[in-house]
Amino acid sequence: MAGRQDGRILNVRRDDPAMAEQARPADGPALSETDRRISDQEQAGTLVIDTNNRFLYYVQGGGRAIRYGVGVGRPGFEWAGVKSVSEKKEWPDWRPPAEMLARRPELPAFMAGGPENPLGARAIYLGSSLYRIHGSNEPGSIGTAVSSGCIRMRNEDVIDLYERVKVGTKVIVI
């Protein structure tokens, strides 16, 4: 990422040809009262995922957070709880779990990381669960409830978030 004088951050990944240059705000917008309560209750660096409203908040402290749009679990695959980031991977390989392969036998048992991979540009693994925060090769799915429980983000957004979070980061899914 490269900073600019106008206070914006550019996601520029010269090693990542699938990513286009895109301006993103350097800091989160002023928060609504609901958002402010989330932000004020949690330490800076915490992730709060509001599945009903389909937003992920990276808490910055001081009443501010960066808000990202997300896709969430479809009916029957919703979940809530507290996890922590256990691992992070760039262009992760995908191995659908046995349960998913049973529901959708047309899926491959393995897919190497890359632009066609459903996990997208980055994956942030949540504890020992099968759930992840990851990019998507279907950006139109952001803002919807279509996943098998993972949190989907636009590739540009998951790259930005990936650079901000560390292994051990607290993740609250509400």
Active site residues: 134, 150
Taking phi over 0 as left and psi of -120 to 50 as alpha, with beta for the rest, 19 belongs to beta
> Quick check: 9 and 24 in contact, CB under 8 A?
yes
Residue 127 structure tokens? 């504890």
- Radius of gyration of the chain, Cα coordinates, nearest whole angstrom: 16
How many other CB atoms are there within 10 angstroms of residue 160's CB atom?
Answer: 20
Residue 121 structure tokens? 């540009």
CA distance linking residue 76 with residue 79, whole number of Å: 9
CA distance linking residue 166 with residue 144, whole number of Å: 27
Element (H, E) at 170: strand 170-173
